[in-house]
Amino acid sequence: MDRLVGKQAPNFSMNAVTGDGKDFKKVNLDDYKGKWLVMFFYPLDFTFVCPTEITGYSKRYDDFKKEGAEILAASIDSEHSHKAWINGDLGKLNFPIASDLTKEVARDYGILIEEEGIALRGLFIIDPKGVIRYSVVHDLNVGRSVDETLRVLKALKTGGLCPIDWDEGDELLD
């Protein structure tokens, strides 16, 4: 598979449900031009690790918004499944969940487990020009860190050289 980081993000168009679970909408990569986008895939609705990540990112949504970033979650489930989950056990969110029912987007982003028909836990930070600046992929049973995603977003936004464990306010390398 070719690398994605540093390249134009593969275009996408997916059906989604709004975070309040009330409406359906279409989401496209172009919707996020001019903003940072944190797009993360999770394996399936109504599972165990997934809701911890989704609600974790939702709780920190204002922190991402303050950095000029939007969040988009996606899985191979239908938008109807997402809506039922939001209006059931998951609860309201601050961002939409997209449906990659065709598995095209997961395939384009290199995270589809073909033999199982589900996506790995892939997370991508896409810059305002549509270029992928960060990618991390986890196995199915390990959740991601919201703090680390936010730290990396802030580091990318500096445009500078950020040493190990760099955090906001730390000096950049010359």
Domain assignment of residue 120, yes or no: yes
Domain that holds residue 75: 13-143
Question: For the domain that residue 76 is a member of, what is the CATH number?
Answer: 3.40.30.10
Active site residues: 50
What pLDDT is stored for residue 49 in this prediction? 87
Residue segments in the chain with a per-residue pLDDT below the cut of 70: 1
Domain assignment of residue 32, yes or no: yes
Domain assignment of residue 166, yes or no: no
Domain assignment of residue 149, yes or no: no
The predicted-structure confidence for 119-142, as pLDDT tens digits, reads as follows: 999 999 999 999 999 999 999 989
- Nearest of 92, 100, 144, 91 to residue 119 by alpha carbon: 100
Cα 49 from Cα 53, distance rounded (Å): 7
Domain assignment of residue 158, yes or no: no
What's the predicted TM-score (pTM) here? 0.95
Domain assignment of residue 162, yes or no: no
Taking the CA atoms of residue 9, residue 13, residue 16 and residue 19 in that order, the dihedral angle to the nearest 10 degrees is 40
The number of domains in the chain is: 1
Cα 41 from Cα 21, distance rounded (Å): 18
Domain assignment of residue 150, yes or no: no
What pLDDT is stored for residue 62 in this prediction? 98
Domain assignment of residue 173, yes or no: no
